[in-house]
């Protein structure tokens, strides 16, 4: 479903186990667009709960999270090789990257 430049996706679960896995991810999580408005609001919530890889085209605002054991990745989502490198060893991706003013 789409409204202007905003896309809304709905997830249908085939089982309660699949729903629980989706709602409670395990392992390493990559957040694309981690330095943006939504990403930077999400990081404090996930900070103590998960091992995070924080990806953004500009990681300067994310450096404060490295001391908590999180990894930073220079990530340009328009570059497929950059994405392949960032996704190595990742179990879950929270994709928040995009052009804020397309």
Output the pLDDT for position 32. Answer: 94
- What CATH number matches the domain at 26-95, 3.30.1360.120, 3.40.50.720, 3.40.30.10, 3.90.1640.30? 3.40.50.720
Output the pLDDT for position 52. Answer: 92
Q: Which of 51, 49, 52, 28 is nearest to 40 (CA)?
A: 52
Output the pLDDT for position 66. Answer: 84
Please write down the HEC assignment for all residues of 52-65.
EEEEECCCHHHHHH
Give the helix/strand (H/E) hosting 95. Answer: strand 92-95
* In the predicted structure, residue 11 carries a pLDDT above the cut 90: no
pLDDT in tens, 33-86: 999 989 999 999 888 888 899 999 998 989 888 887 889 999 999 899 999 999
Q: In the chain, what are the domain boundaries?
A: 26-95
Q: What are the strands of the beta sheet with 51-56, ordered from one edge?
A: 71-74, 51-56, 28-32, 92-95
């Amino acid at each position: 479903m789409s409204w202007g430049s905003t896309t809304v996706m709905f997830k249908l679960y085939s089982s309660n186990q699949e729903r629980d896995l989706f709602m409670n991810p395990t392992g390493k999580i990559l957040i694309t667009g981690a330095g943006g408005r939504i990403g930077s609001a999400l990081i404090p919530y996930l900070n103590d709960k998960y091992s995070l890889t924080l990806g953004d085209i500009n990681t300067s605002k994310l450096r404060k999270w490295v001391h908590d054991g999180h990894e930073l990745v220079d990530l340009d989502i328009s570059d497929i090789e950059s994405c392949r490198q960032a996704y190595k060893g990742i179990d879950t991706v929270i994709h928040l990257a995009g052009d804020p003013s397309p």
